[in-house]
Amino acid sequence: MSDVTIDAVDRKIINALQGGFEIVERPYRQAAEKLGLDEEDLIERLQRLVDNKALSRFGPMYNAERLGGAVTLCAVAAPRDRYQTVADQINRHRQVAHNYARDHELNMWFVLACETPSDIAETIAAIESETGLTVHDFPKQKEFFIGLKVET
């Protein structure tokens, strides 16, 4: 995170909007009113928090399984001299939600979010074929939700 100052209002926004964002004609206006702000101020503050990387993103989180899809965590042991090439090959797949480095033998981890459960195996096979590496699949056994609350 960059050197960004998060004030009490930013903290209040972060805490309030994690629990849901109502689907109404003017959701930002409704949320702003509940926070004692005006709509434009709320939008500007959210954009600043994302631009300054205080928030990695602001948007909906979908439960892929409830929509008929599937999600899994994968890892590969990418050779250091090919690391960026392998990352680029993996990230070209639209099913890759995000990709990150780890200090471990399995040094590249990524999440697959697929439209159907069978797409998981197909995508893993395609990545293995393209990279020449074994993809280790770590399917979810239990789901946890961790909410981030910042003190105001």
The token duo for 54 is: 């205080």
pLDDT at position 140: 85
The whole domain housing 102 covers 65-139
Domain count, the chain: 2
β-strand partners of 136: 75
93 and 39 assigned to the same domain: no
Q: What's the pLDDT band for 98 if we cut at 50, 70, 90?
A: confident
Q: Report pLDDT for 34.
A: 94
* 124 and 89 inside one domain: yes
Strand ranges across the sheet with 136-139: 96-101, 108-114, 70-76, 136-139
Residue 56 · residue 46 · CB < 8 Å: no
Q: Tell me the pLDDT tens digit for each residue of 113-133.
A: 999 999 999 999 999 999 999
* Residue 72 belongs to a domain: yes
In a domain, 2, yes or no: no
The domain that holds 102 is classified in CATH as: 3.30.70.3460
> Quick one: 72 and 129 in the same domain?
yes
pTM, entire model: 0.64
- Domain assignment present for 145: no
Which tokens go with 8? 């009490």
